[in-house]
Structure 1
Amino acid sequence: MKFVWSVWLLLAASFSLFAGESLVLTPTPEWVVKQTFDKENRRDRVDGSIFLLVDKQYNFTLPKPMMYTHYATKSVNSKGVEDNSQISISFDPHYEKVLFHHVDVWRDGQRIDKSREVELKRFKQESDLEKLLYNGTETYYLVLKNVQVGDIIDYSFSIEGANPVFGDKFDTWVRLGWSVPVAKVYARSLVPVDKGFTITRVGNSEFGSLTHRQVGAMEEYVFEDGRRAYDFDEKDQPSWFIPYPYINVSNYDNWQEVAQWALPLYPNSTSGRLFAKELEQLKALPSKEAQIMAAIKLSQQKIRYLGIENGIGSHAPRLPEQILEQGYGDCKDKSLLLATLLNQLGVEAYPALVSTVHREKLNEQLPGHSAFDHVIVNFFHQGIEYWVDPTVTEQGDALDSIVQSDLGYALVIKPESVWLSEMNVNNTNQITSSVEYHFKHQKEGDSTMKITTLYEGHQAERMRRYLTANSMDTVMGEYEDYYSRFYQGVYAAEEFEYQDDPQSNVVTMVETYVLENPWMEGDENTVRVEVTADIINNSLYAPEAQNRKTPYYVGSPLMIEQNIVVNLPDRLKLEEEAFSVKNDTYSLDVSIKGDGEGLLQVLAPVYKKINMNYRYQRKASSVSVDELPKYIKETKQANEFMTYYFSYAKGK
């Protein structure tokens, strides 16, 4: 079920307008327990509003499940009037129906019926259009007339119906807290006694009360809380972290039941002229690996990504023949096509449900279809298990080098699935960069910088997509803009050299720059030039807040080697340095040494050539709250070794 409280969510920009409709009120359902709220509340103002009531009630005992919602919000200034006098309610017309119960304004203690003073519009809204997903969602948009500062906007509605793709299975999440204070939160769920429903508190469960009672063949669960705000919505949290409290209402008992629900949605359909043609071409290839790779490329490159996810199409894929005919599909369409092709090639393959949100924490989630938001393909070849994402493009050309999906856990859609499968993949994700500077004094001419970078595995595929999507002129311009943050007057001396080895999944880029004016004003009548291990520096960061309360996301496991050679115009004294840090999140080794031999190096450590070598390995994707103090301290120490300045007296 989908709904929007317009105070917190903006109406999407992509929509089309239906003919105008008139607002028709229906009585509040008899099963609803009506809630009151404190109309005199003057506390907890947020951006011109006081949120007085959030009331959500669900009835899963009806032939068509129903969700009742009641909101009350006070507008304390003109911004509050603007925000609260416009109400939006989103729904899927393929299986949901919206029923309006009341639209009132409370002014000076008196109720004013606004149902005849409202402009009602209905939009076809595509909130995920930028993701190439068409979900068929529509939105009722209510504009209340003559709303004044101090008014309380009080309205209720119900949404009737459920997506038929789920059959008699339910997996609903009810949010109970926000970053703004709400004077009263009430959430009630009615479930049948004999249908295996469980109600579970998830996330922050410290506050509020959850009560339970049985009334005949029905169970009632009620959550109540008041004047609560949650301040755990910090920047850079792992996607799996849940900062707010929820209640999960589900009648799934285990992961096996989820697999059994999904199984009939992915039939083994091999009929059709186009499917037979593609299969014949694949079988003509000389080796099994060549056939597998060609099938992967077909699903990734030939079928473009586009999702039509309205109604039952939200979770049920189209058949392979239809996907080949239309030339596009979303993750489930592409996965069913690839799995079917592989099976016809004699390769054991299955679609698999995964979560781009819960990722490696999926095994800690409650069983249910809502735990998943993506589909990939699981298959075996020569005893080796593979996890391939058919929505990814520009991957390598060999099974032993292709980057596999690494989302922690998956639910493979096959009859014998009873539990989540751990995705034990060993992807390469590495950058190796060699930089050589030749600095000249300003009066001696321009300096130069040459960079040779090897991108391997995931980084190669990322770079391949970037280079495929952009012209070399665009790439060179963006790189020049990047390096202009370090040096004035930097420009590419020649077109970049680009080599791609898709078999090894390695991309090599060679860049050569002219530095017209790399020198900056230093201290005490000096000029200096800066050299930064920028790739590692950009991957080594710490949270701004020192008293952070939640885990900190740092990115996927990654290996970076950056070796920098600095050729200076004259010898400089150098104190050689070494630094090393190893913690649960990353390891870093730094070596700063002069390169030279002879009497001068014996008498004094002066060099014209400096070697700066860095090796960084990120081992974990997030830092726990307990580890943060140590992580922040060590990262600040490491940052001191990222940039070096080489200074000379002015006039050189």
Structure 2
Amino acid sequence: MRPYSLTYICCQLLLLLALLPLRGNAQGKNFKTGPAPAWLAPYTPDLNKKPNDKDISDGYFLLLYEEQQQAELKSSYHHTIRQIVSEAGIQNGSEISVDYDPSYQQLVFHQVIVRRNGKIINKLNPARFEFLQQEQDLSRFIYSGTFTAYLILEDVRKDDQIEYAFSLTGRNPIFEDKYFNNFYFVTYQPIVNYYKNLIAGPHRNIHFKTFNGARMPEQKALNGLNLYEWNIKDLEEMEEEDSQTPSWYNNYPYVQASEYTGWKEIADWARQINKHTPPGNGIKTKVAALKKEAGNDKEIYLQNAVRFVQDDIRYMGIEMGENSHRPNSPEKILSQRFGDCKDKSLLLCTLLQADSINASMAYVNTYSKRKVAEKLPSPYAFNHAIVYVTLNGKHYWIDPTVSYQRGGLKNFSQPAYQLALVITDTTTTLTPANPVSTGSIKILERLDFPRRFDYPATLAVTSTYTGKFADNTRYDFATSSGKDKEAAFQKYYKSIYGEVTTTDAITLQDSTNSNKIVVLENYEISNPWKRDSINKGTFTAKAVAQALVSEIAFITDTKRKSPILLKYPEDLDYTIEVILPSDWANSSDALHIKNEYYQFDYTQRVAGRSLFMHYQYKTFNDHIPVDFIPQYVKDVTAIDQLTAQQFSWTQEGTSTPVASNKGINWLVVAMALLFTAFFTYLAWKYYQRSVLPVKYPVNSIPIGGWLILLAIGVTFTPFTMMKDLLDTETFSNSLWEQLANRKDLGNISVLQLFLVAEIIANTFLIVYSILLVVLFYNRRDIFPFSLATFCFAVLVINVADVHLTAHLFKTPLSPNLPYFIIRQLVYMLVWVPYLLKSDRAKSTFTIPHHSQQEEEHKQLY
């Protein structure tokens, strides 16, 4: 066992302590208690105000939120009063927490009190505070040194009022003495009194800019200083935006304040903190090695240097104090082999400049992107550092924090940060930083359905990624185990097709020189055919363009007030080949959309048993503006109808694939309407008949007794029959198109005549069922005979239809036929005798047609 020195052990313990959440008391945490500062501006809130009860959600509201800032003293004062109104408020409002950095900030608590029934209870006890170093950004490999002072209040009750105040003094020295800040005026809970201010010396030329309807501050004089204040009586509560908005979108009212007058000042400040130091021995050795590998080819040198910094220098940021913005020396980063974005960017610049390659650091905002130009200049305008390179007349934007990036410079994938501040002595404005080469995704899914219903289907997927998509895929596979990746892919297809199992291990083919990755997947789908609950003897299956669905935001709200996020840049070429047991009918569905934001193309191609559904989707912008949303909703609604296709197949041995999005056969619809009109005329003539001889006077009792049950069946029968007819494929073009291609069924004309006869029979029964409703509620004397005839006709027509369908289409008899016959016979044996024998029925259905009544009346008188 290797012995370790005491120094080594101590270093490891210190590193462990630095990276784990810390907990402790106030000692060494730059914390104390004391009176409120004397520099505060006078402010008197209205403590008698109350919010609307319906706006209180967490069991408490803020009676006061006060924040005052003193730029000259680098201090801020915070004063809050919480009003507990329910038991929920005791749970949600009984803790106090403050985040701060003790390396340059001092936290002073001035008061913590509870008001109860007119009494004041002092809760300010320094020994009760806990100090936690939770490091919420540690999951992103960033260690900032921020602490949370945490106080859990004891004995809090309903109707208590909790008041506390504290000050934070100190500012990160990296920002020198320039003032800049953002003042947000947003709340997610009721605030009755809301006050903010800024107190600054008259020598400061502070610029203000408002966003999203925020108010400019009122300017006053205070003890020889300038007082900028916001005293807001009614602060509007905000609703959080959904995840479909672009990262740069911000609808919160806020005011930006900054002493900086232009981007040149920010570039000059950045140059001072990103100074290039003379290379040390480590840098010189690495430069020599890179030159030896590249020979005299600067492009190869650039490529190798980028890969070294990206892959060999791991991402880890210890950003305490000035190191939040000041990078460590390249020599140190090279030695420790880790650093954050600014560390890695400065190291890459140093390596490139050593070979006379023009390289500069650049600041970008990964969230605001091009919207950064709308902000006032300040160091807070940026959150990320990259490298801008010029070589042989070409420009490159390189992100040293990207891992597993491959390919030559000509197809190098560059980030889409849109705008950047290049850190040079000549910089005066922002520079466009748009991607040059982005890559594409090409997917082919081959879905082969079996010729038997009890056999599994197979799914073979070939996905080809280039450019940034290859980089992302390479990183994804490198950071996941093969087992986890297979499980994730299998789960993905299970959500679409149900019982899916992997038949072969996922294969990854990586061509690093061309930056191209091909991923091969193979699956088996158990029980792909599902029995159609409506059309007996028919089975259905589906194909879903899930890869397309994942890329598009399917929004339906045309009155949306916020822009819609588009994945940008996006270039998807997606084909689904569906192979069914028999040849397809011709298919001509297509959709083409192109505008300044996106392009979508969909086409279908038939080749024997295969249907090729081809989708192409590209984006040209990162969002859909609000005024274009109605058109976008219209477009994605049309696209959505093409993302899933359902196919039908008759029972074993007679495959009849049918695409679910076929149009209507209007000739068949017209024929059905024509026969409906004809049978309606016959029903009207039949309605005028009566049971002869007509008895006069007419005595009829109201419908009642067991006839109430019969009324339910008679009333709903027309609706049931119409639904069954509309649910069939008789009115679909696809049925008639495929019928013409069914050479295995013999004389197609006979089949077509049979389908026409089905339509005639169905319209006859529907019109007849409606006639029964009219006869029943008019208590006509011909109803009993008409119902008996109808029941017999339904039985004969349906039995004949099932047998002829099986014979002509060469399918087995429906297994539900015996149940139908039994059910229909039971119905007839119950109601027909009841109507003929029951005294109530005989006394109810006695009314003849009015023409027969008039004729009988004339004969009598």
Summarize the alignment of residues 270-285 of structure 1 with structure 2, pairs less than 5 Å apart: 270-284=278-292, 285=294
Letter in 1 for 2:284: A
For 2:488 and 2:512, the matched residues in 1 are separated by 24
Letter in 2 for 1:264: Q
| Maintained 8 Å contact 1:577/1:593 | no
Summarize the alignment of residues 15-414 of structure 1 with structure 2, pairs less than 5 Å apart: 15-19=21-25, 24-39=33-48, 41=50, 43=52, 44-62=55-73, 65-116=74-125, 119-205=128-214, 210-215=217-222, 217-236=224-243, 237-284=245-292, 285-286=294-295, 287-414=297-424
For 1:213 and 1:86, the matched residues in 2 are separated by 36
User: Structure 1 residues 58, 310: CA separation in 2 closer, same or farther (over 3 Å shift)?
Assistant: same
Deviation at 1:354, TM superposition (A): 0.6
SS of alignment partner, residue 136 of structure 2: coil
For 1:132 and 1:80, the matched residues in 2 are separated by 36
Deviation at 1:233, TM superposition (A): 2.4
| Maintained 8 Å contact 2:178/2:259 | yes
Of the two structures, which has the highest relative contact order with CA contacts closer than 8 Å and spacing of 6 or more?
Answer: 1
1:438-482 CA distance string (max 9 Å, x none): 211344633222221110111101110111122333322221111
Deviation at 1:116, TM superposition (A): 4.4
Question: Residue 512 of structure 1 aligns with which residue?
Answer: 522
For 2:621 and 2:593, the matched residues in 1 are separated by 15
User: Structure 1 residues 42, 361: CA separation in 2 closer, same or farther (over 3 Å shift)?
Assistant: closer
Larger radius of gyration: 2
Which one is further off, 87-96 or 571-580?
Answer: 571-580
Deviation at 1:155, TM superposition (A): 1.0
Letter in 2 for 1:130: S
1:551 aligns with 2:563: yes
For 2:131 and 2:238, the matched residues in 1 are separated by 35
Unmatched segments (≥5 aa) in structure 1:
1-12, 597-607
Deviation at 1:546, TM superposition (A): 4.8
For 1:548 and 1:433, the matched residues in 2 are separated by 33
- Structure having the higher strand fraction is 1
For 1:107 and 1:14, the matched residues in 2 are separated by 40
Question: Residue 631 of structure 1 aligns with which residue?
Answer: 632
For 1:304 and 1:366, the matched residues in 2 are separated by 33
| Maintained 8 Å contact 1:92/1:137 | yes
For 1:218 and 1:623, the matched residues in 2 are separated by 46
SS of alignment partner, residue 157 of structure 2: coil
SS of alignment partner, residue 450 of structure 1: strand
For 1:197 and 1:149, the matched residues in 2 are separated by 44
Summarize the alignment of residues 435-446 of structure 1 with structure 2, pairs less than 5 Å apart: 435-443=445-453, 445-446=455-456
Provide the alpha-carbon RMSD of the alignment: 2.1
| Maintained 8 Å contact 2:49/2:192 | no
For 2:95 and 2:512, the matched residues in 1 are separated by 53
SS of alignment partner, residue 635 of structure 2: helix
Letter in 2 for 1:613: H
- Structure having the higher helix fraction is 2
| Maintained 8 Å contact 1:562/1:614 | yes
SS of alignment partner, residue 88 of structure 2: helix
1:329-376 CA distance string (max 9 Å, x none): 000000000011101111010111110111121111211100100000
Question: Residue 839 of structure 2 aligns with which residue?
Answer: none
Which one is further off, 127-136 or 620-629?
Answer: 620-629
Letter in 2 for 1:353: Y
Question: Residue 549 of structure 2 aligns with which residue?
Answer: 537
User: Structure 1 residues 35, 310: CA separation in 2 closer, same or farther (over 3 Å shift)?
Assistant: farther
For 2:96 and 2:20, the matched residues in 1 are separated by 17
User: Structure 1 residues 379, 20: CA separation in 2 closer, same or farther (over 3 Å shift)?
Assistant: closer
Deviation at 1:118, TM superposition (A): 7.8
SS of alignment partner, residue 278 of structure 1: helix
For 1:24 and 1:504, the matched residues in 2 are separated by 63
Deviation at 1:119, TM superposition (A): 2.0
For 2:141 and 2:37, the matched residues in 1 are separated by 38
Deviation at 1:126, TM superposition (A): 1.1
Normalised TM-score (structure 1):
0.92
1:413-455 CA distance string (max 9 Å, x none): 1111111111133222311112222211344633222221110
Which one is further off, 297-306 or 470-479?
Answer: 470-479
SS of alignment partner, residue 633 of structure 1: helix
1:276-297 CA distance string (max 9 Å, x none): 1101101112221111111111
Identical counterparts, % of pairs: 28
For 1:632 and 1:421, the matched residues in 2 are separated by 34
Letter in 1 for 2:444: S
Deviation at 1:14, TM superposition (A): 6.6
| Maintained 8 Å contact 1:35/1:55 | no
1:244-279 CA distance string (max 9 Å, x none): 122222111110011111111111123322111101
SS of alignment partner, residue 471 of structure 2: helix
For 1:110 and 1:31, the matched residues in 2 are separated by 26
Deviation at 1:407, TM superposition (A): 0.4
Deviation at 1:45, TM superposition (A): 1.1
Question: Residue 3 of structure 1 aligns with which residue?
Answer: none
Deviation at 1:48, TM superposition (A): 0.8
| Maintained 8 Å contact 1:270/1:320 | no
Deviation at 1:306, TM superposition (A): 0.3
Deviation at 1:101, TM superposition (A): 1.4
Question: Residue 607 of structure 2 aligns with which residue?
Answer: 595
User: Structure 1 residues 210, 571: CA separation in 2 closer, same or farther (over 3 Å shift)?
Assistant: same
The list of structure 1 runs, each at least 4 consecutive aligned residues, that deviate by more than 6 angstroms after superposition, is none
Unmatched segments (≥5 aa) in structure 2:
1-18, 654-861
For 2:34 and 2:228, the matched residues in 1 are separated by 28
| Maintained 8 Å contact 1:107/1:151 | yes
User: Structure 1 residues 109, 240: CA separation in 2 closer, same or farther (over 3 Å shift)?
Assistant: farther
Question: Residue 615 of structure 1 aligns with which residue?
Answer: 616
| Maintained 8 Å contact 1:387/1:404 | yes
Deviation at 1:565, TM superposition (A): 1.8
Deviation at 1:643, TM superposition (A): 0.9
For 2:407 and 2:610, the matched residues in 1 are separated by 41
| Maintained 8 Å contact 2:80/2:165 | yes
Letter in 1 for 2:66: D
User: Structure 1 residues 23, 289: CA separation in 2 closer, same or farther (over 3 Å shift)?
Assistant: closer
Normalised TM-score (structure 2):
0.70
SS of alignment partner, residue 496 of structure 1: strand
Deviation at 1:50, TM superposition (A): 1.1
For 1:249 and 1:499, the matched residues in 2 are separated by 52
| Maintained 8 Å contact 2:415/2:434 | no
| Maintained 8 Å contact 1:177/1:244 | yes
1:645 aligns with 2:656: no
SS of alignment partner, residue 484 of structure 1: helix
| Maintained 8 Å contact 1:177/1:245 | yes
1:455 aligns with 2:462: no
Deviation at 1:569, TM superposition (A): 0.6
SS of alignment partner, residue 499 of structure 2: strand
Question: Residue 427 of structure 1 aligns with which residue?
Answer: 437
1:454-512 CA distance string (max 9 Å, x none): 10111101110111122333322221111112223322222233211122111111222
SS of alignment partner, residue 489 of structure 2: helix
Deviation at 1:383, TM superposition (A): 0.6
Letter in 2 for 1:27: A
1:52-110 CA distance string (max 9 Å, x none): 22111111123xx1111111111112221222221001111111001111112222344
For 1:118 and 1:650, the matched residues in 2 are separated by 79
Letter in 2 for 1:625: V
| Maintained 8 Å contact 2:58/2:92 | no
For 2:483 and 2:99, the matched residues in 1 are separated by 44
Letter in 1 for 2:195: Y
User: Structure 1 residues 419, 217: CA separation in 2 closer, same or farther (over 3 Å shift)?
Assistant: farther
